[in-house]
């Protein structure tokens, strides 16, 4: 399931289950939760920094159009942030407009660019931003980021997690988008099953993971893992073995490597030994986990509220938690995914005003308010100090927040969307025994390189 479709399902479930939560996101750069309906009055420890603003010739504020795909509670939270910005920046009036799903948003932006009337800034996934770059529709942000009047200070850049700033290797490695929202790929584990098999902690290496799988699997009633075939799974598993998805210049793939083959062999071993099954329908892994049928799942932290609710309703699993994926690298690696904000080519002053708003979204006040309203991870390390109460109420979130420092992001190239599909197909082919690990990996790499070459 694509991240965009997953986001749509998430919002639907938010309304159905009447719980302030959102479904797991799991693909192109999966999506967030929505656990609030307004920006809290507390939790903001720093006022937005003053920034030069402009006024139109007639004395009215300059209107900046901001297009997004945030709906329901997220839209409410975003509108509150916009209202706060407008109240503190009288020379600029940001108008935030919901444009539907991310696919709808991309299509509308593309049409607006073709018509010569793009928005001033928009939320977009990185592969869509890469297409905007190819069309000459968006601007690099490097000069604005370093601007002495409105840019980030050196302290700001040290405070912002690197995974929230998107570099584009095919375009001079310049920054074309910045995120104020990210969620994370993690491993969910059933400690009840692990303890029953003689283990007292979740696995930290892949060898430990496989040993636990052999001990807990009792098909057809209990399995180690239920796989949702998704490129974000593969990406994190590859990185955790020290591999790379792309070459440094972004012109060819690098996942057809020893680390990539080890990842595919890992999948093959699980299914050959009948220690894993493939997900049958959306959220089936979450349901089976809550029923104590599987020991591990991998997915987004956006699923935490749903896991909690499902486990409470089933009343089977008593002891469970989340952890970074097992790894052979010195430190764990976590896939941080989510859309970013890009600025469209208009006029110099409008671009600057748009950046003032983007910088505001990245500030500690907006950052902490957005976290408390949505359960995304903050862009700034310093934001944690204003989230004490929120973390106490959401301890698993607080645990995961400590892993943001280990974050990596998936490729920022236009071809990444079809490449994700090729990787998912390869995972499915191996799991079903249709192709050997090397055949599936090489086939995916060949198709991926063709997709990159055709850009």
Residue range 278-327, pLDDT digits in tens: 998 989 999 999 999 999 999 999 899 899 999 999 999 999 999 999 99
pLDDT of residue 30: 36
pLDDT digits (tens, 9 = 90+) for 159-180: 999 999 999 999 999 999 999 9
**Phi first, then psi: what are they for 20, rounded to 5°?**
-75, 80
pLDDT at 59 over 60: yes
Instruction: Name which residue leads in pLDDT, 446 or 29.
Output: 446
Q: How confident is the model at residue 91 (pLDDT cuts 50, 70, 90)?
A: very high
Q: Are 105 and 137 in contact (CB under 8 A)?
A: no
pLDDT digits (tens, 9 = 90+) for 368-378: 999 999 999 99
Q: Report the pLDDT value the prediction gives residue 13, as an integer from 0 to 100.
A: 38
304/187 Cα distance (integer angstroms) = 11
Question: For position 58, what pLDDT does the model report?
Answer: 54
Beta-bridge partner residues of 122: 67, 342
Average pLDDT value for residue range 353-358: 98
First to last CA, the chain: 24
Query: How do 165-168 and 174-178 pair as beta strands?
Result: antiparallel
Beta strands in 15-168 (DSSP E): 62-68, 92-98, 121-124, 165-168
Give the residue from 228, 186, 235 showing the smallest Cα distance to 409: 235
Question: 18: which DSSP letter?
Answer: T
Condensed to tens digits (0 to 9), the pLDDT of residues 192-226 reads 999 999 999 999 999 999 999 999 999 999 999 99
Instruction: Give the pLDDT score at 60.
Output: 85
Identify the pLDDT of residue 455.
82
101 C-beta neighbours (distance < 10 Å), count? 16
> CB-based burial of residue 208 (10 Å sphere; 0-12 exposed, 13-18 middle, 19+ buried)?
middle
CB 6 within 8 A of CB 326: no
pLDDT of 17 above 80: no
Mean pLDDT (whole number) for 400-424: 96
| DSSP of 303-330 | GHHHHHHHHHHH----SEEEEPPP-SSS
Indicate the average pLDDT of the chain. Answer: 89
Q: What is the pLDDT of residue 33?
A: 36
| Strand-pair partners of 377 | 182
CA distances from 22 to 8, 33, 251, 392, 399 (A): 10, 4, 36, 20, 19
Q: Helices in 89-170 by DSSP H: which ranges?
A: 102-114, 126-134, 142-145, 154-159
Tokens of 100: 């539907």
Domains of the chain as residue ranges with CATH: 32-182+338-408 (3.40.190.10), 184-335+415-453 (3.40.190.10)
| pLDDT of the residue at 4 | 40
Give the residue ranges of DSSP H helices in 197-257: 206-216, 231-239
Strand partners, 168: 174
Pairing of strands 334-337, 407-408: parallel
- How far, in Å, are 205, 221, 402 from residue 209 at the CA level? 6, 19, 22
Q: Average pLDDT for residues 442-452, to the nearest whole number?
A: 98
Q: Output the pLDDT for position 230.
A: 94
pTM of the full structure: 0.84
Among 327, 325, 30, CA closest to 188 = 325
Contacts of 187 (CB under 8 A, 6+ apart): 202, 296, 297, 298, 322, 323, 324, 325, 326
Q: How is residue 50 annotated by DSSP?
A: P
Fill in the DSSP letter of residue 405. Answer: G
How far apart CA 67 and CA 165 sit, in angstroms, is: 19
Give tens-digit pLDDT for 269-290.
Answer: 999 999 999 998 989 999 999 9
pLDDT, tens digit (0-9, with 9 covering 90-100), for 92-109: 999 999 999 999 999 999
Q: Residue 308 and residue 289: Cα distance in Å, rounded?
A: 11
Q: How many residues does the chain have?
A: 455
In which band, very low, low, confident or very high, does the pLDDT at 1 lie, cut at 50, 70 and 90?
A: very low
Label residue 157 by pLDDT band (50, 70, 90): very high
Percent of the chain residues topping a pLDDT of 70: 87
- pLDDT (average), residues 42-50: 35
Distance CA 312, CA 171 (A): 48
**What number of other Cβ atoms are within 10 A of residue 88's Cβ?**
16
Q: How far apart are CA 322 and CA 270, in angstroms?
A: 21
Please count the CA atoms within 13 angstroms of the CA of 268 that sit on its side-chain side. 18
């Amino acid at each position: 399931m694509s991240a965009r479709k997953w986001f749509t399902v998430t919002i639907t479930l938010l309304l159905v289950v009447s719980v302030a939560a959102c479904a797991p996101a799991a693909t192109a750069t999966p999506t967030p939760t929505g656990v609030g309906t307004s920006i809290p009055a507390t939790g903001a420890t720093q006022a937005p920094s003053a920034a030069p603003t402009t006024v139109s010739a007639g004395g009215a504020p300059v209107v900046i159009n901001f297009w997004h795909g945030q709906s329901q509670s997220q839209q409410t939270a975003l509108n509150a942030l916009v209202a706060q910005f407008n109240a503190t920046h009288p020379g600029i009036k940001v108008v935030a407009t919901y444009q539907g799903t991310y696919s709808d948003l991309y299509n509308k932006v593309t049409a607006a660019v073709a018509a010569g009337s793009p928005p001033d800034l928009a939320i977009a996934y990185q592969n869509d931003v890469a297409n905007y770059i190819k069309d000459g529709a968006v601007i690099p942000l490097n000069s604005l980021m370093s601007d002495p009047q409105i840019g980030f200070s050196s302290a700001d850049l040290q405070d912002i997690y690197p995974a929230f700033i998107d570099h584009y290797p095919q375009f001079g490695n310049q920054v074309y988008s910045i995120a104020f929202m990210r969620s994370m790929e993690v491993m969910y584990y059933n400690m009840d099953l692990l303890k029953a098999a003689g283990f007292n902690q979740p696995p930290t290496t892949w060898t430990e993971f496989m040993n636990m799988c052999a001990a807990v699997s009792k098909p057809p009633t209990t399995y180690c893992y239920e796989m949702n075939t998704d490129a974000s799974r593969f990406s994190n598993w590859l990185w955790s073995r020290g591999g790379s998805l792309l070459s440094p210049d972004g012109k060819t793939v690098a996942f057809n490597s020893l680390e990539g083959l080890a990842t595919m062999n890992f999948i093959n071993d699980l299914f050959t030994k009948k220690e894993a099954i493939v997900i049958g329908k959306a959220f089936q892994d979450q349901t089976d986990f809550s029923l104590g049928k599987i020991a591990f799942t991998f997915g987004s932290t956006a699923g935490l509220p749903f896991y909690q609710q499902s486990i409470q309703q089933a009343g089977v699993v008593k002891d469970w938690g989340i952890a970074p994926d097992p790894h052979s690298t010195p430190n764990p690696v976590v896939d941080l995914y989510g859309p970013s904000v890009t600025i469209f080519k208009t006029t110099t002053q409008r671009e600057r005003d748009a950046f003032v708003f983007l910088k505001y979204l990245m500030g500690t006040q907006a950052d902490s308010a957005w976290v408390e309203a949505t359960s995304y991870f903050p862009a700034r390390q310093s934001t944690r100090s204003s989230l004490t109460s929120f973390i106490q109420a959401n301890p698993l979130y607080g645990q995961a927040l400590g892993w943001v420092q280990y974050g990596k992001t998936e490729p920022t190239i236009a071809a990444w969307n079809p490449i994700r599909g090729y990787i998912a197909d390869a995972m499915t082919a191996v799991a079903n025994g249709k192709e050997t690990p090397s055949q599936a990996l090489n086939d995916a790499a060949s198709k991926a390189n063709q997709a990159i070459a055709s850009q």
